[in-house]
Amino acid sequence: MSDSKEKFTPGPWKIQKSISGVHPIAAPGIRAHITYVNDVENAHLIAAAPEMYEALEALISAMDDVLYNADRVPDCIVAVAQEAMDKANAALKKARGEK
């Protein structure tokens, strides 16, 4: 992960048992909860955030390899790879609080 990793609460994050319909999300070794969520669907999405962040970084690295070898890759694949990389980079910037 990039240098910004230390700014995030390390994963994995887990959804703890619901308390009256509120789903606390916690990380190992952290006494306080990361957040509380009212619906389980959003709780699952939030709990998956650290793994999704790392997966996007891995995909960006793989796409860098594809684009580095762009002269040997069909143009349509290069275009799709660049678009995916741009979206992944935008999502990571948003997660880091960057514009």
Which sign does the torsion angle of CA 43, 56, 13, 36 carry? negative
Q: Which two tokens stand for residue 31?
A: 């006494």
Q: List residues bridging with 26 in a β-sheet.
A: 14
Q: Where are the domains of the chain?
A: 1-47, 53-99
**57-99 pLDDT, tens per residue?**
999 998 888 888 888 888 888 888 889 999 999 999 999 889 7
pTM above 0.85?
no
Given this model, what pLDDT does residue 44 score? 93
Given this model, what pLDDT does residue 91 score? 94
Q: How far apart are the C-alpha atoms of 67 and 73, rounded to whole Å? A: 8
